[in-house]
Amino acid sequence: MKRILTILTVLASLSATAQENTSETRLSLGGYGEVTMGRNFYSDNVYRYSNPTKYKDDPSHGRFDVPHAVLFIGYDFGHGWSMQTEIEFEHTGTGCAVEKEFTEAGEWEQEVEKGGEVALEQFWLQKSFRPWLNLRIGHFVVPVGALNNAHEPFNFFTVYRPEGESTILPSTWHDTGIGLWGEAGNWSYEFQFISGLDAFMFNRDNFIKYGAASPYEFQVANNYGFAARIDNRSIKNLRLGVSGYYGNSMHNSFPNDLKDTRYKDVKGRTWIGSFDFSYNGGNLIVRGNADYGRVDDAVTISTIKRNMTSNNAPYKKTPVGQSAVTYGAEAGYDILGLSDRIQDKLYLFGRYEYYDPYIPASDQQDYTFTDVHRIAAGINWLPIPQITVKAEFSERFRSERYNNEPSVSIGIAYMGFFK
């Protein structure tokens, strides 16, 4: 009897150990973060575009920042069920921020952002049926564009996120809804049903960027949106992707009480199309993107925002353009990869991008300073695979009447899983 009890005790101990080990393997912890420093050798005056000559010789200005510090928590429940949470801390703070509003004569205002400066970027539950069929419900990243699809700091060479897509699109774009995704052979796909964008949050300098944000404790969803993405990896080391979004953006504000019946049929249909690619082979990495967006009824939306929304409403008063565009490419070469003895990586890189968040309709005022070309060149040093140190020189070019905007930036970032 004593021997049987001993055997049962050993089996119970082994079972508990196995359950503990299984629990450990099911839990995943990880994250990424960035610390940056920049020096901008141009004026930071809010009128520098309306009177470029006056501010041409203004002193430089600099800043330290922690753009993103992110924690991943995931768990595999078994039987195809899993969850993931992604919590992001932006710019080291919480709550609202006092900012100088460049689009409204430089007045100071308290900026309200979705979730303050701490954002729940992902919180979803998933049921996996097959590799090609997974159902996801909750709050997740909307993978429209190259940056939203791969927004971690190891997926771009520049110190800060690429300007083109982060200017005209929400970044990181995250929303609540239902999604399907899967992989089959060299193909992968995502399809998402989410809340629509809010046209009253569109503006001249950022197109639809703030349309996915909500200053409320909930996401307004009077209208709905649809996002999709397809990637192909048939060619070795090369990924090709297309993505897009469609949805009505008018009458998607709170409260939904626009009384003027003249505008009841204004839809504000919003379209976004994007192509991006990445090549990673040998010592060479090349990435690129091209994005185009269009907002129907842009003139009407701009008029309503200016004349029919209250002054203390959390909306952008500047007009929204009929369309916006960005395209760009970057390439980096690991010069230390030429030696088999060195484990570090040192990429020399260059990047060019163009973007314009405000392309007006024929009867809208044009603002030529929104048309931007940008170049950047620098290094990415990876002493270990989870750490990268970045340094770059960049310069923005607008039309001839405006001053160029050179800057120098350095940063350090990490990304990895702790468990």
Residue 15 lies in a domain: no
Judged on CB neighbours under 10 Å (0-12, 13-18, 19+), 98 is exposed
Residue 6 lies in a domain: no
Tens of pLDDT along the chain (419 residues) come to: 454 444 434 434 544 444 444 455 799 999 999 999 999 999 999 899 999 999 999 999 999 999 999 999 999 999 999 999 999 988 876 655 556 565 555 565 665 554 346 888 999 999 999 999 999 999 999 999 999 999 999 999 999 999 999 999 998 999 999 999 999 999 999 999 999 999 999 999 999 999 998 877 788 899 999 999 999 999 999 999 999 999 999 988 877 766 667 778 899 999 999 999 999 999 999 999 999 999 999 999 998 888 776 666 677 788 999 999 999 999 999 999 988 888 999 999 999 999 999 999 988 999 999 999 999 999 999 999 999 999 999 999 998 899 999 999 999 999 998 87
Q: Measure the CA–CA gap between 90 and 67, rounded to whole angstroms.
A: 5
Q: Measure the CA–CA gap between 267 and 245, rounded to whole angstroms.
A: 15
Instruction: Give the count of beta carbons closer than 10 Å to the beta carbon of residue 185.
Output: 10
Full domain range(s) for residue 197: 31-417
Residue 263: its pLDDT value, please? 79
Q: Measure the CA–CA gap between 392 and 66, rounded to whole angstroms.
A: 17
CATH number at residue 394: 2.40.160.10
Look at the chain and report how many structural domains it folds into.
Answer: 1
Residue 4 lies in a domain: no
Q: Measure the CA–CA gap between 85 and 94, rounded to whole angstroms.
A: 19
pTM: 0.86
Contact present, 149 and 241 (Cβ < 8 Å)? yes
Residue 259: its pLDDT value, please? 62
Residue 163 lies in a domain: yes
Residue 44: its pLDDT value, please? 93
Residue 351 lies in a domain: yes
Handedness of CA 9, 14, 15, 21 (dihedral sign): positive
Residue 20: its pLDDT value, please? 47
User: Per-residue DSSP letters for 213-244?
Assistant: --SSSS---SSEEEEEEEEE--STTEEEEEEE
User: Given the DSSP bridges, would you call strands 372-384 and 387-397 parallel, antiparallel or unpaired?
Assistant: antiparallel
Residue 17 lies in a domain: no
Residue 312: its pLDDT value, please? 66
Contact present, 261 and 136 (Cβ < 8 Å)? no
Residue 116: its pLDDT value, please? 42
Task: State the DSSP H helix or E strand holding residue 167, giving kind and residue range, or none if neither.
Answer: helix 163-168
Residue 14 lies in a domain: no
Residue 13 lies in a domain: no
